[in-house]
């Protein structure tokens, strides 16, 4: 039994099929990456899994329960949260207000405050800026906030869309160290990332997507050594 599974998943924009019938599985406590060129359908896949884009065909199962077409707010309550491409923070709210929005589906106030403090320990820079307007944070700080906000919902499955986009190399390393730490603590993650090398280095398994199709899947270690992957995505 898979923790998350798609069966023949198709997603269309108008009359264009962006995702063309993919089968994908994730086991509990796995960190799985989805790599591929721009326009391959990676972000569309994530948006479908989190309820932002309804599939045109196929099925999504989460914890062996069909969730196809369920809205995002329901899926958050079921345990699926997404860190979107571009971060999607609320610029005029404070950092702390953004964090609290991540816990909107919860009513355990004491635990919400504890979780917030744990995340400030994970990202000390955020603790220093908790009263600051989120729109005035640096790109790296905004990415830390976006991850923290998603974690405030206490997800069972975390979807990450291009977490390294637009960040300086030192901050990219910090973000990926954090992703690895979250995975080691037992979180199940699906990572979409343009930096295929970094994605595969932190993942257990990987899928390669081209033109809306899954064309290859294997252990991350095997994909890192694959000649085609090295040529197309790793600069080999």
For all residues of the chain together, what is the average pLDDT? 94
The pLDDT confidence band at residue 236, using thresholds 50, 70 and 90, is: low
Average pLDDT for residues 98-123, to the nearest whole number?
94
> Which of 189, 222, 203, 200 lies closest to 36 in space, CA to CA?
200
pLDDT in tens, 132-154: 999 999 999 999 999 999 999 99
Annotate 149-185 with b (16+ C-beta within 10 A) or e (fewer). bbbbbbbbbbbbbbbbeebeeebbebbbebbeebbee
Spatial contact of 202 and 31, defined as CB atoms under 8 Å apart? yes
Reported as a single tens digit per residue, the pLDDT across 74-85 is 999 999 999 999
pTM: 0.94
Q: What is the residue extent of each domain of the chain? A: 4-88+155-233
Residue 60's pLDDT band (boundaries 50, 70, 90)? very high
- Write down the pLDDT at residue 15: 81
Q: Would you state the pLDDT for residue 235?
A: 67
Scanning the structure block, which residue is given the tokens 């063309």? 20
pLDDT for 180 equals 94
Asked if pLDDT for residue 176 goes beyond 90, the answer is yes
Residue 37 has pLDDT above 70, yes or no: yes
Query: What fold does the segment set 4-88+155-233 form as a domain?
Result: Rossmann fold (3.40.50)
């Amino acid at each position: 039994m898979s923790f998350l599974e798609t069966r023949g998943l198709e997603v269309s924009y108008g009359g264009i099929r962006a995702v063309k019938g993919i089968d994908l599985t994730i086991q509990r406590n796995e960190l799985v990456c989805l790599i591929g060129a721009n326009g391959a359908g990676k972000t569309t896949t994530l948006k479908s899994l989190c309820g932002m884009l309804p599939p045109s065909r196929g099925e999504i199962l989460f914890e062996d329960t069909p969730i196809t077409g369920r809205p995002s707010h329901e899926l958050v309550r079921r345990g699926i949260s997404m860190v979107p491409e571009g971060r999607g923070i609320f610029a005029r709210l404070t950092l702390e207000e953004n964090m609290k929005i991540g816990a909107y589906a919860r009513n355990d106030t004491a635990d919400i405050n504890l979780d917030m403090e744990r995340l400030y320990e994970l990202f000390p820079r955020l603790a220093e800026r908790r009263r600051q307007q989120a729109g005035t944070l640096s790109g790296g700080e905004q990415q830390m906030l976006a991850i923290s906000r998603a974690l405030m919902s206490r997800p069972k499955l975390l979807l990450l869309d291009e977490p390294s986009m637009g960040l300086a190399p030192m901050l990219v390393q910090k973000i990926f160290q954090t992703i690895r730490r979250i995975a080691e603590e037992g979180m199940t993650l699906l990572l979409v990332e343009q930096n295929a090398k970094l994605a595969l280095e932190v993942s257990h398994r990987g899928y390669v997507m081209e033109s809306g199709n899954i064309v290859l899947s294997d252990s991350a270690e095997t994909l890192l050594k694959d000649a085609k992957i090295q040529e197309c995505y790793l600069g080999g």
